[in-house]
Amino acid sequence: MVACRSYCANYFLLVLISFCLLHFRDRISRETLTLTLTLPETNTTAVNDVKDDAEVVDRGAARSNYIIRFVEYKDAEDHRAYLQGKIELDGWEWIERRNPAAKFPTDFGVVAIDESARTSLIEQFERLELVKDVSADLSYSRSVLAKGAGRVGAFVNGKKRPGKIFSSMSYSEGEYYATDISNSTISWNRHLLMQRYQVTSFFGARGLWEKGYTGAKVKMAIFDTGIRANHPHFRNIKERTNWTNEDTLNDNLGHGTFVAGVIAGQYDECLGFAPDTEIYAFRVFTDAQVSYTSWFLDAFNYAIATNMDVLNLSIGGPDYLDLPFVEKIWELTANNIIMVSAIGNDGPLYGTLNNPADQSDVIGVGGIDYGDHIASFSSRGMSTWEIPHGYGRVKPDVVAYGKEIMGSSISANCKSLSGTSVASPVVAGVVCLLVSVIPESDRKKILNPASMKQALVEGAARLPDANMYEQGAGRVHLLESYEILKSYQPRASIFPSILDYTECPYSWPFCRQPLYAGAMPVIFNATILNGMGVLGYVESPPTWHPSDEEGNLLSIRFTYSEVIWPWTGYLALHMQIKEEATMFSGEIEGNVTVKIYSPPAQGEKNIRRSTCVLQLKLKVVPTPPRSKRVLWDQFHSIKYPPGYIPRDSLDVRNDILDWHGDHLHTNFHIMFNMLRDAGYYVETLGSPLTCFDARQYGTLLLVDLEDEYFEEEIQKLRDDVINTGLGLAVFAEWYNVDTMVKMRFFDDNTRSWWTPVTGGANIPALNDLLAPFGIAFGDKILNGDFSIDGEHSRYASGTDIIRFPAGGYVHAFPFLDSSESAATQSVLITSAMAKADSPILGLLELGEGRIAVYGDSNCLDSSHMVTNCYWLLRKILDFTSGNIKDSVLFSTSVRQAAALYQDDNQLPSRRTDVDFSAYSAVVGKELVCRNDSRFEVWGTKGYSLHVRGRSRRLPGYRAIDLGRGLNSTVETSNLKRPQWTQRNKDEHAANNFFGLLYSDEQLDMPVLVASHWLVPALIAVTGSFAFLKLLANSAEAAPA
């Protein structure tokens, strides 16, 4: 076995390294928050106190710490010797890491680099053959969300706290108090209070305890603040390890102790789920609640080396582009460690999922209260990291009780806490209990991150009043999951397994808007769970099987992961109704099937195969009239990460990043519901403006957009409005270069000042788009209250209109202009700031079309809305789509006799110190209609920009016969499928994990999002096999 492991690792290591370096090195984006505060040597000194910006800059001016990742595992000394032998420049020093992982091979090193030599040294390091990449040793910082203290995240009063950007801490401490229990009245005393908060009783854990299942022989890794050795609430603390720079193993904060208590506590008043679970306490946070990426990487490597079964991680943030961290999570789960993580405490806002819980290989946990309602603090989906590539996925995976949960305290009493980092250990405890159900000899054959997630989501109890992006599969049901695991056979499945347009609210937003002919494709992005193996393949393209003839009216194309690793992949359905169904009204039912296969498991000869089924029940209506169809521009929206994209309202000082997705179904979900209630049908355009047929839509809706525009888009939109009668509604935002500069903050991770790459919206780009109509926005930042026809609204950090044609209707109000204020992230009203009438709303008829522009979008965004302006949006759409003119908006008193006009040199200018191409889908990119546009223009430049009949084909896209139009049959991905090579039966299954690379097979990148996970996944797997190799070598060298 050892020899086989060594052979496997050596062989595939060479293949994968050469393949990845030749083909993928330049593809892997490092557009992350990188670089950090100088890290003292482990276990030697305390973390420095947080100082002001000037002191931070001075303290780190000389030297900063960086992580150098290698393509293989070796002893740290070997890595150091390699670097010292290859790097000729001075100005760097190897940092020795003294922690429990030091006795194992590692895939990274930490070096201190002089700031003066940083650029040249990093370039030299990254040119080395065995170096994967160089990134900063990010610092992590989190704070207790104490009751009454308000949210504490990465920013406080507009100033950035030290560390990586994280959202608020995932727990808050509660007091004992009485609440109602469904239709019963209870006299509350302390004894009954303890029963009320005994969370294990709500899941029926005692039923499994009585069967003898108590978590025995399950290795549970708790990554938190530590635990004391002799705590009486725990009977099985196997190991405590410290990964911080503080010389203690104890928990001085109480969070790690509480989490351990929920999982494995034995004290009667706050019982855990699996009291016999073996606790391995990883102290990864200091008493100041600070950690570093290098600490996590070492601790994760140690968890892999010591064969942990389950790992709980109750941290999270919006930065899903922190590749060293994300890829190590992939490697961790690929080594069959089941990770459970809190989904975040940024609810009730949508689009606020935290990483790593938003990763498909991690069990992401949301929180509910004892009334089975989604907790207000629990973050909502969808997964925003996939939105630029089509559509997000369902997260959280499951929810569990996370409000006023009883757990262990440092003082050996019980206390109550709330938050998703409380719900996470509830599920981790359930997982430990379920793992112990499987005989120890069979666990690794049956249990893995995918099979456990299958048991949880298939056994979950769906909540009646929440949608899939709030609850995932529903509330964890321990006993149902137990029944599933008892008879489990390795298989693949799809989650969610049903999309039912008739089931509201669970299927929101799909159930809120039926399908119809001529619409943009509706994308449903599901997750493939492969319980058969860490690596799997799609054997043949997915297939649509309608249940009757009416099902043939549906056309589906698929994009999907042909390579499924680790344990999971995606299946995206792009659904259109064919044009012959223009008048059809009814339901379409059927199944989508996809066949998955995996290499034989150890000791098996045959390939594992499974057929996944996704049930569809879709509602179809006749195509709505043009005046009721609105098209939402998603393509020109940019969010954090990768760049500093600022919040729209400058009044918001503790959440200054725009990271919620800016999607109809995330932070604009309330607006979406309002438009549907008003009778509008809202579709999403995820491609350039050349990729939609303006004759089909009443209004194009542009809200809070940050990207640039292709020249072809500007030309087409002019023609669409003037000649085709398209309505245009624009909701802009603030833009002021001086204010952006003042908004800078020093990021101790990048060792540099961060300034916004644009304003709340990209006004210079919008002005280019609107120039053919004689309209332009200015650079004022306006704030104030106003009223139109009895409707009151707040103008929150909006801009003004400085160009507008004569004959249009312009509304102006006396607002405060704070653009010249010296305040950063706060608006201070002083007598020096005079209020003057500023134009903010303009309405215009031009040619066949109609245009409305408004300088603020905060009133549509549910993230930090002060007052909504849905009333105004309805009146605007009535005008732009139906030429219905509100008597107040079109009063003769606001009609412009002369044009508003300012010279070009008065228009807001672009920043010249920002490389916008790093964040843009336009600058430096080729115009192409993507997979979220109509089928007939996929891969083309769009309508009116290609030869009719046979479209202009771009590299990598098939030619599409436009003569078929909406009648195109089911189309599937045409990616090349790797051929399976049968190996010798005596070889370990690991030899077959990368069968696609045995011959000259070329690895194809799945179309939708796989390029964002597959490449680093392959590289991460390299480290896994190298790690196995060195472990094997160590075993050979060890004395008998």
Which segments of 436-584 does DSSP mark as H helices, in order?
A: 443-446, 449-459, 468-471, 478-486
Q: Which residues contact 1037 (CB under 8 A, 6 or more apart)?
A: none
Measured CA to CA, the distance from residue 154 to residue 169 in angstroms comes to: 10
Measured CA to CA, the distance from residue 329 to residue 337 in angstroms comes to: 10
Q: Is 224 among the catalytic positions?
A: yes
Helix-strand-coil percent breakdown of the chain, rounded to 5? Answer: 30, 25, 50
Q: Which residues contact 390 (CB under 8 A, 6 or more apart)?
A: 523, 525, 559, 572, 574, 686, 930, 931, 932, 1008, 1009
Measured CA to CA, the distance from residue 228 to residue 217 in angstroms comes to: 21
Measured CA to CA, the distance from residue 940 to residue 691 in angstroms comes to: 8
- Residue in the block written with tokens 């594992």: 608
Measured CA to CA, the distance from residue 375 to residue 367 in angstroms comes to: 6
Q: Under a CB-based contact definition with an 8 Å cutoff, are residues 993 and 537 in contact?
A: no
Q: Is 821 among the catalytic positions?
A: no
Helix (H) or strand (E) holding 432: helix 420-435
The residue annotated as part of the active site, out of 255, 636, 660, 663, is 255
Question: What crossing angle do the helices spanning 449-459 and 420-435 adopt, rounded to 10°?
Answer: 110
- CA 160-164-169 angle, to 5 degrees, is 85
Measured CA to CA, the distance from residue 868 to residue 870 in angstroms comes to: 6
- Residue in the block written with tokens 């929810």: 399
Of 170, 425, 422, the residue nearest 316 (C-alpha): 170
Token output for 38: 């100088």
The SS3 call for residue 284 is: coil
Based on C-alpha coordinates, what's the Rg of the chain? Answer: 29
- Residue in the block written with tokens 């050996």: 412
- Residue in the block written with tokens 């989508």: 592
The residue annotated as part of the active site, out of 107, 133, 224, 372, is 224
Of 325, 257, 327, 256, the residue nearest 285 (C-alpha): 256
Residue 974, number of CB atoms within 10 A of its CB: 11
Handedness of CA 722, 726, 731, 736 (dihedral sign): negative
Q: Under a CB-based contact definition with an 8 Å cutoff, are residues 124 and 101 in contact?
A: no
Residue 624, number of CB atoms within 10 A of its CB: 17
At 350, the amino acid letter reads Y
Helix (H) or strand (E) holding 180: none
Measured CA to CA, the distance from residue 135 to residue 751 in angstroms comes to: 12
Token output for 802: 């400085």
- Residue in the block written with tokens 């595939």: 12
Render the burial of 292-325: b for 16+ CB within 10 Å, e for the rest: bbbbbbbbbbbbbbbebbbbbbbbbbbbbbbbbb
- CA 1021-1024-1030 angle, to 5 degrees, is 145
| Cis-peptide, bond into residue 805, ω within 30° of zero | no
Measured CA to CA, the distance from residue 373 to residue 934 in angstroms comes to: 38
At 660, the amino acid letter reads H
Q: Under a CB-based contact definition with an 8 Å cutoff, are residues 993 and 564 in contact?
A: no
The residue annotated as part of the active site, out of 383, 421, 838, 973, is 421
Q: Under a CB-based contact definition with an 8 Å cutoff, are residues 843 and 884 in contact?
A: no
Token output for 179: 């609440």
Q: Is 864 among the catalytic positions?
A: no
Q: Under a CB-based contact definition with an 8 Å cutoff, are residues 651 and 827 in contact?
A: yes
Residue 633, number of CB atoms within 10 A of its CB: 21
Active site residues: 224, 255, 421
